[in-house]
Amino acid sequence: MNVIELIKVKKDYPLGATTVHAVRGVDIAIKQGDFVSIIGPSGSGKTTLLNIIGCIDHASEGTVNVNGNDVTAMSDRQLTNLRLHAIGFIFQTFNLIPVLSARENVEFPLLIMKNEKLSKKEIRDRAEKMIEEVGLKDQIEQKPYELSGGQRQRVAIARALVTRPAIVLADEPTANLDSETGEMILELMKELNEIEKTTFVFSTHDPDILKYAHGIIKIKDGLVHN
Ligand SMILES: Nc1ncnc2c1ncn2[C@@H]1O[C@H](COP(=O)(O)OP(=O)(O)OP(=O)(O)O)[C@@H](O)[C@H]1O
Ligand SMILES: [Mg+2]
């Protein structure tokens, strides 16, 4: 089953009097449990594609199916719900909440999943288990500023996975890390992909990353190249 399917997707951005054709007709099919990298030069459309898959942005044309939902037909409220339950996000700049500890950052998405009716204890236990899985047991009460870049990205990975999403999207998750730490982060993502069977789609500039991916989508000038 394809957990992500894009058919003839285009994305135009108005820019002053002109239009930027950021994505110019892309077909993508990603299966549940895949570990896929979107690779391509700056400006090729990687972030645009991830935002469309993550229902943060709408395609201008084409069909987008995410976790069995035709997202082009969904209301904003339904999209918010889909994002919260089916998708986890990891960002280049970590995007942790600075006043919250590692534990509280990871608990946060569970607290806002109101219809799940999780008890305080369940939330605490799930966050704790996830933080242990990313190797930060000893840093659990530390705030982001008390953590290294690699540790912050581990917290962000735990936060993305704690809701048990079908899909985790990561836009250049290693770009702000040194290459050794970046490799450790990718190894962790791969490990979690195997343990949790979560589908991972991540973008990168870095050709070294290729050895980690099951599937590679090469993108250039808004088009996929094989
Ligand atoms: N909001 C916007 N308004 C106008 N043009 C945009 C907007 N967002 C992106 N673009 C343009 O769309 C194209 C694709 O941008 P995108 O951010 O998807 O590239 P990218 O592959 O993620 O690049 P990078 O590797 O630098 O992050 C670029 O030409 C960019 O200038
Ligand atoms: Mg980008």
99: domain CATH number?
Answer: 3.40.50.300
Q: Determine the atom of ligand 1 nearest the C-alpha atom of 205.
A: 25
**Does a structural domain hold residue 15?**
no
Which residue among 11, 23, 44, 49 has the greatest number of ligand 1 atoms within 8 angstroms of its CB, and so is best to mutate?
44
Per-residue pLDDT of the chain (226 residues; tens, 9 = 90+): 899 999 999 999 999 999 999 999 999 999 999 999 999 999 999 999 999 999 999 999 999 999 999 999 899 999 999 999 999 999 999 999 999 999 999 999 999 887 778 899 999 999 999 999 999 999 999 999 999 999 999 999 999 999 999 999 999 999 888 888 888 889 999 999 999 899 999 998 877 777 888 899 999 999 999 7
**Does a structural domain hold residue 199?**
yes
**Does a structural domain hold residue 89?**
yes
**Does a structural domain hold residue 9?**
no
Asked if 11 and 47 count as a contact pair (C-beta separation under 8 A), the reply is no
Which residue among 6, 12, 46, 92 has the greatest number of ligand 1 atoms within 8 angstroms of its CB, and so is best to mutate?
46
**Distance from residue 128's CA to the centre of ligand 2 (Å):** 31
**Confidence at residue 136, expressed as pLDDT on a 0 to 100 scale:** 95
**Does a structural domain hold residue 59?**
no
Alpha-carbon distances of 131 from 139, 141, 151, 187, 214, rounded to whole Å: 9, 11, 11, 16, 26
Q: In what order do the strands lie in the sheet with 18-31?
A: 18-31, 2-15, 61-66, 69-70
Ligand number, closest to the Cα atom of 56: 1
**Distance from residue 119's CA to the centre of ligand 2 (Å):** 38
Amino acid in position 145: Y
User: How many domains are there within the chain?
Assistant: 1
Ligand number, closest to the Cα atom of 49: 1
Amino acid in position 46: K
**Does a structural domain hold residue 10?**
no
Range of the domain at 147: 34-47+75-225
- Quick one: which of 76, 163, 159 has its CA closest to 115? 163
**Does a structural domain hold residue 188?**
yes
**Does a structural domain hold residue 167?**
yes
Q: How many CB atoms lie within 10 A of CB 118?
A: 15
**Confidence at residue 122, expressed as pLDDT on a 0 to 100 scale:** 94
